[in-house]
Chains A and B, each alone.
Chain A
Amino acid sequence: MNHSEHSHGTACACEHHAAQKSPAALLHHALEHATHYLPAQGPIGVFVHHNTLHAFQHMPFEQAVVKAAEIFDAEPYLSEQTYQEHRQHGRILDQDIDAVLAREPDAVLLGGRLTRRELRRVLLIPGVRRVNHGNLTWQIEEGNFLREFRHDLPPTAARALASDQPDRLWPVCTSRYKVAPVAAPQQPSRPAETVQESHGIALDEVVNPVLVRLVSSYLDQGLAYWPMPDREIGFLGASRALFTSTWLSDWPVLLRGIRGEFERLADQSAQDIVLDLLAGFGVPEQDWEALIRQELLSLPGWAGMIHCLEVDPLLAPHERPSFSLMEFLAVRLILTSVVLKNVTGSITEWRSHPVGAMAYHDPLTHQARLFDACQLLGYHSELLAGLSETEFDELCHELELCNEWERRRLLHLAYELRHERRILIPLSRHCAMPAVVEKSDRLEAQVVFCIDEREESIRRALEEVEPLIETYGAAGFFGCAVDYTGLDDPHGVSLCPVVVKPAHQVAEIAVEEDHSLGHVRQKARRTWAKLTRTASIGSRTLVRGTVSTACLGFLSLFPMAFRILAPLRFARIMEKLNAFFLPEPRTELQFMRNDDESRHATTGLLSGFSIAEMADRVANMLHPMGMTKGHARLVVVLGHGSSSLNNPFVSAYCCGACGGRSGAPNARLFALMANKSEVRTLLRERGIMLPEDTWFIGGYHDTCSDDVELFDTDLMPSSHATDLVKLRGKLDEARARAAHERTRRFESFNNHRSVSAALRHVKERSVHLGEPRPEYGHCTNAVAVVGRRSTTQGLFLDRRAFLVSYDVKNDPEDRYLAAVLGAVIPVCGGINLEYYFSTVDNERYGCGTKLPHNISGLLGVMNGYQGDLRTGLPLQTVEIHEPVRILFVVETTPERVLAVIHANPLLKEFLENRWIRLAAIDPDHGGIQVYRGNGVWEELSGDEEPLPIAKSSIDYYRGKSEHLPLARISPQLLTSA
């Protein structure tokens, strides 16, 4: 499903045709609409970050989060209490709140005695107390609610109230407040809503377990030993075959008659069954969509999984029976109707019980809020009693407008505003200062990393270790979208962003001399696989299990104890054993175009690249980064990935630009291409002057263990050997420093320990069986800087910024800017928004704590033994995240960046609906303009945020674990001063 289709789903233009459509078409339409609300996460083996509220992206952010919160019963922002705590700790300043309020429309209230802004300001500073129906009675009877006024009142208010008493004010509030009429009861949208009230039985608790068992067995990718029978005839058919096979299926009390119902509907298609049951429920056509949506949202994880697999069956890693959401819905409705009949005796009766809004009707809270507001405003009881009817109503109305969600919205905007100023003001100060590193004749090396914000620390560390090394950031597939088959892989996988379909095939093979070794390895792997599989299945079955657990079980105590008590040592020994039993041959990539093979390929993929295609790819990467001349003798291209144990979410930590996999092969391929002399000849024609003595090396950076590996160094001319040794040493120093910086976030490591201890610690995390946070992933992402490294070089960005190398001087027509933004805004924006939503509501949008997770069907995780699939990010991944929308800082002029973004509908939607924030930094004088929407730019002014200067990164961060403000890392300046 492409973006525009999806995002406009809820604002579908076909609404007005509805009247003329057939019931079947209407049903499909309703189902299609309902699917927009399902999570879009596929099987967890490939975790792709995307905007959790993708379906709402056509709406402005602030409206979308509220709408979604209503539909999903979720939180739109952090809690009010959290924001107030941030305010107390100086993370939100009063001036931010004032600035936010100043942007909101104002109004004159109470005949000029009050303005909306003044009212809202006191509701935010010092803020209202947390009262609700539940705790208010206690507050009144046991607490000081009616005994004294608040202690944190503004002085003027306190003076005004000096002669008044709370128990005089309170009666005025309660007696004058007009209780809003109870909302009229509504027609229920689905049976579960009323049966709970009328019969005390939660339908979902009966239907869901049965459905979860069926669907998890049906979708299972090979976890169960005995696959579900009849999978080839589809979910409906397989379920029907099971339920009708034996009278036992009628045995559960509330499922009585399920067999008959399946038999009655035996020869109908899923669609007919759904139509039949919708008619049976007595639901009119216009309410179908609501019913279907609510039914599907009762198990959003499983419904969403089926939907994802239906859209792209290739997402399923091993088993691909037919996936159909309609069949899922049909089975769900059959189960619902049977249970409903057993509970209420009829399947239409539920509609005659309207659902009251009783639970939400809570006048006492409003009265208490008014009481609070009067204190904050200094309105004593006589003043309040003296207000005219209309004035009093106006005050109440205004208070209700500034309800909890509204206050949280305002506080969130202030929270983001302070973040923006903490980034932009120091950045502009930094740009105004002279460059940290002076230009030299020739660089010692150039290292290209992924744009990933986790690479920011190692880039800075490398530049600190050796100022003559320059680093770059490019999307981690390095322009090489390939279908790659590694030496050990049974088939190819796509190494490129998920929206791209690779057209070229590349394979890793053992080099000529090591062919026999390669065979030995594969043979050993086959034997190992056979043994392990027999053992793991065997340990669970009846007979084999008896033999293996009784005879050999005891022996597994020693590796188990060793592994858990000394994970790092165990990993080292395992590595040695692996090297002995599974010898690794030297390998090469098969990447040259083979026309013969391409013609005969059944996959439709071209095998390898032609010289011109290679030159395209190399040029398309070097051009935007401005790497057209002045290359160093060594250029290293580092892909990244992440290794960890016992972690179903490992793919979420890998390279997003490589589809949730490791980008090592792409880096290796890129270097091989760039080293080809034919390619270089073509590059010269395009204005990229690669010197004869420049050599490219591909490599891999593990963001969890901070290991760095370089490939194909044996192909390098011997003249570069010393350069490489030097560079290797510096990379090692840099990765150790990066690891040390990373450990400041980990509570279990004392950051005052040495750099090498930190490196050991992160390595241990990556091999520890019981480590729920091998790394923090993208947890700190907040900013993306698109521009030259010189803008940010020497700036401590705290691993919070995606750094995209883009040289505006090289791009007069904004061609590269369009390409770069077209890729990075959806990718970085998607990552950022996924983290945002998983943080503000970890139970609804995220997948809760990792600790009880249970892998189901190799597709995802669920809680317990028959729950819903959980989508989104786990608590352990987002616990230190600051949920702010990502701030893009683009180094170009406001007009140019806006033109580029507006030319692309997707980017325009991202920007104009405020799902991202944007600022432009002038490439010539460093002035910063902030985008405020609707074409309005605002010049950055003010200087309340300082730019601390430190001698080295470690001096700045050591021993601190919180988010740190930007700092300038400048060894020379301090020593000379």
Chain B
Amino acid sequence: MKKNGTYSRGTSLMRDALRRFVRNRLSVTGCIVLLFIITLCLAAPLLTPYTYDYQNLSSGATPPGAQHLLGTDILGRDLFTRILYGGRVSFAVGLCATLVSVLIGVAWGAIAGWYGGKTDTIMMRFVDIAYAFPFTIFVIILMVFFERSLLLLFIAIGAVEWLTMARIVRGQVMALRHQEFVDAAIGLGLRQHQILLRHILPNIIGPVIVYATLTIPAIMLLEAFLSYLGLGVQPPSSSWGILIREGTESMETYPWLLIFPAVVLSLTLFSLNFIGDGLRDALDPRSSRE
């Protein structure tokens, strides 16, 4: 209570979190860099006269210059263009696969945590076993043995990355399950799915967002890794993983072919990780000590 009978307006949790996030210089820088890269990728057709598969063998392997901002590869394809179009693929894979993993993970974790008992034991047992499964191997097997399509790539990667999400959500739901406002909602006669949707989900959104932001770079990394092995996106399409693979093949003679894609990928991963860290500190005040 404050003097003069006025009450100070309580800062809402979200506004508080936003203020903490904005104060974190690293994550704000991350946001700016990421937005810049995404904008460039989206605006690719406006920024470059070439297409990603336009070949001009007579100007193959040109170093960076006025004609080709970041140079060209051996087939004379413009590297700048290929990085931008490749970025679209990399971001698309990152976002879609994250979405898949969030959906599976949240549903799995919420059901296990909510029903508890035998359901929980069986479902979490499955997660435990899956954890012991060498999953990168699983993705490699999938990609080798089945048709290499982008869709399959989304599913394969999404199926790998949901385990931790399920564990986090389950823990949160378990903790919420036994709190009084949930008992109150049950007492009021709300249906279970109503309670889950209206009372539980809003409360677990914070950790889910944080973990999802940290999943995106992990998935983009996995995509790049698969493309690097030749199992991901197929040429002539480009993705950052493919560009890096092509770059390493000729890094002694044409180092820019490795360095530029590598820098862009690393910058993106840095930004996403800093944003994720910033969000975690902002949404979980306990973890941000001063």
Whether A associates with B in a native complex is no
Chain A positions near chain B (C-beta within 8 angstroms): none
